[in-house]
Every structure is written in structure tokens, then in C-alpha cells.
Amino acid sequence: MYTIVVADDEEELRRAIIRKIDWGSIGFQVVGEAENGIEALELVERMEPDLLLTDIRMPFVSGIELARQVREVRPTTQIAFLSGFDEFSYAQQAIQYNIISYMLKPITMVDLTEELKKIKLKIDGIFAEFDARKHDNPDLQQFFLPLLLDDYASFEGQDREELLQEQAVGNGFLKDRNNAFQYAVLAITVEDTNGKNRTRPELVHSVDMILQKYMKHYSFAMDGRIIAVLAATTSTFDRYLHIAVGEMVQSTERILKMHCHIGVSRIREHLGECHEAYRGAMSALGYCTPGESGIHYIADEERDNTMDMELAAECVTQMENPWWFPRGTGKLSEGCIRQTGGAAGCCPEMQIPDLPDVLGADPHCLYGDRRFRPAPAFCHAGRSDTGIQGSFHGTLPGSMGTGQCGQEKEQPDPV
């Protein structure tokens, strides 16, 4: 039996839908109703329904915006739209948010019932596919196993990365070498309510089913874990990584009735750094608590002490700029702080420490005519990692922040 929330600002229609449809006979149970988008979102968060049936235009939060927010907090909830607008723009946005059905008003209860039956069959298929088996690609596994487990010490610099890129194109993981991909690794385990590891090789397909909607990837089973290598642009990682891992956890709990643990590595610039990413993902997995699902990011759990020397030199140059510091004082002037809008915890007469301390300081304490500000960051569970951004392109070590600020695209990278 699947659960459903019905949302429509027209009370008469909403009540008619709830009363006149024999929900049990078509495999659904109504667990809530809402008259606006805010109420609907609250119900989705609290009741965790399998299906949200909603009008596309409602007060406070529209159906389209509601779909976007539902995907953030409950990506496993399927959404069906009721709309009085037979316009391509609405249907196009509905496709963008993986809407399972788009129905036009007015609609009879008979027609709505038939459509709900079709929706149930689609959800049945999603549940069945999540637990289905997969035929692996041996060429890719032979490529990724040494990539993750070895450090490729016999190759150095650009030759090493070029070799890996050529191999990735040859085995089909990458389409070509002309891409802006970065890389990350996930380490995933599934356990039953008694805390016993139930991660089986067939679950690779379950991981693939979710990741394929968001980014390029390859996943395989190894030593009681599922390992997934991800390739995507910075904006795609920022926008979709937390949604994808959240959907894995929710699907495991809802469909398999088990707990899911996921360790997430730092984002890496090169394929040759996947060995470090794998170690980070495994370390992050170690922070998971037995007996409950959890997602742990190594960037949250452990500080990366690697120093970017080019960025350090850039910071030194800026600190030596007399616009920043009155000559001979070694202190930030009050005028500099006012110029950048000030920041909590920064004193007008802040004494500048040695360079390593500066790099480890609160990023809001660095000022100048370049107007440093927190970079767009990878966000999850109501928090974000922050990188320092100016006219240079990069972030301080230990940050998931991006080095460029611009318009982010809405769709995942084509895979």
C-alpha cells in the first residue's frame, strides 16, 4: 500500500478527490491533505508519502516550486500534477522535476482513478527496479579497481593524468577528454535492523538507478560495500550530490526496510586523485553510527591540511598591498572593514598573524579591494562548507566551495 498526500487550494475539489476515490482498491492510502504549498511541504517532510498529488498553482508556494523543494527534502516522493493550464512551459518544468504524471483539469473521478492506477504501476516498477540485478561491465571494473586501490606511483604529473583520461575514454566511462569534470567517491553499506551488514552485489543496480538521474558514474561491489565513482562539473556536484545520496538512504529505508550508510569523499580535480578520494570515502563511512542510517562527508569530519601554495602566495601579495594595511601597522584598518561591509568576529584593529594562521582563520577576516566573499558551496542538511573566493579561481584547502561564481545550470550533466 502506497501513501499519498493531496494538495489543492480548492477545498471542494480536494475533498471530492479524497471522498469519492476508493483509495484502498487502487493501492493507496491518503495520509494528509493541504490547501497550500507550505502545508503540503510540511506534510511531505512529516509523513514521507510515496506520492504527492498537487495542483500546479497554489497560494504561497506554487506547484513547481513545491516540486523543487520536495526533491530537496524527499527525493523518493513521486509527484503528480493537476493543472488547468495546457501550456508547454508548465509541462516542460514538470519534466525537469521528474514528475510522474501531468493531468489537466477539469478531470472526472473515473479518469483520475484510472490515472492513479497507472501511477501505481509506475511506482511498482520503481520499487522492483531498485531491487533488481545488474550485469557488470568487466572493462570498467578492471580500470577502476587499481585506480582506487593503487596510487599510480610509477606515473607522475601530466603524463599520469593523460594516461588515465585516455583509458577512461577507451573503456567508455568518459565520452571524450574535452570536459570540465571533477571526481568524487561514495562508499555505501546496507545493514538490517540488527546491525548486520546486508550489502549484496545486486544493490549496485539500486545505486545506479538513482545516480544515473544526476551525473556520470560507475559503481561496483567490493568487500561488503558498494563503491561509486562520480564524475560531474562543480555546479552539478553542488546542486545534486546531496539530493542523490539522500535519495539512496530514503529508498533503502522505504523499499528494503534497512539502514543505509554512505561515506562521501572530497571533490577531486583529477582522475589520478581517485585513490585519495576512495580513502576519504572509506574514512567518512567509519563515522556512521550502527543501527541508524547516515550520510557522512569527510570534509565535515576531518580537516584537510594540504596547503595550496599558489593561493598562499596570492594571499601574501594581497596582504602586502598598502590599501589593506596602513604602512608599518600590520593591522586591518577600519576603513578596509567598512569597505567590505564588516563581519562578525572581526575587530577594526585586528593584528594579522603569521601566514599559516591567516589561512586557517575565519574566511570573513580576509578583506581587500577584491571583496572576498564565501563561494557557492555544497549544501546539505541545512549547512554549507565555505570557500574563500576573490578574483583568483580556487578555494582554500579543506573546502568543498567552488572557485567561480556564476549562473548555475538547472539540469544535471548529460551522461
pLDDT digits (tens, 9 = 90+) for 114-151: 999 999 999 998 888 776 655 556 678 778 888 888 75
Contact assessment for residue 34 and residue 66, using Cβ atoms and an 8 Å cutoff: no
Query: Which residues, other chains included, contact 83 with Cβ-Cβ below 8 Å and sequence gap of 6+?
Result: 55, 56, 57, 63, 90, 102, 103, 104, 105
In 3D space, the residue among 314, 313, 231, 307 whose CA is nearest the CA of residue 269 turns out to be 231
Least confident among 23-27, 171-175, 290-294, 403-407: 403-407
pLDDT at residue 30 is higher than 90 = yes
Higher per-residue confidence, 231 vs 367: 231
pLDDT tens readout for residues 228-254: 999 999 999 999 999 999 999 999 999
- Give the range with max mean pLDDT: 140-144, 387-391, 397-401: 140-144
* Spatial distance between the Cα atoms of 396 and 375, rounded to a whole number of angstroms: 10
Buried b (16+ CB within 10 A) or exposed e, 360-374: ebebbbbbbebebeb
Residues belonging to the chain: 415
Q: Is the pTM of this model over 0.75?
A: no
What distance in Å separates the CA atoms of residue 57 and residue 76, rounded to the nearest whole number? 22
How far from 215 is each of 103, 109, 132, 413, CA to CA, in Å? Answer: 29, 39, 21, 6
Is residue 360 predicted with pLDDT exceeding 60?
no
Rg, C-alpha atoms of the chain: 25
One-letter identity of residue 60: F
Higher-confidence position of 258 and 172: 258
The rounded percent of the chain whose pLDDT value lies above 90 is 42
pLDDT for res 409: 43
Alpha carbon distances (Å) from 352 to 316, 322, 342, 355, 398? 11, 14, 16, 8, 22
Asked if residue 259 lies in contact with residue 253, where contact means CB atoms within 8 angstroms, the answer is yes
Residue 363: asked if its preceding bond is cis (omega within 30°), the reply is no
Among 71-75, 276-280, 391-395, the range with the most confident prediction by mean pLDDT is 276-280
Mean pLDDT check: name the lowest of 79-83, 134-138, 160-164, 278-282: 134-138
Spell out the alpha helix ranges (H) of 202-308.
203-211, 234-251, 274-285, 298-301
Q: What is the pLDDT of residue 318?
A: 64
The average confidence (pLDDT) of the chain is 76
Q: And the C-alpha cell for 347?
A: 575587530
pLDDT in tens, 368-379: 333 333 433 333
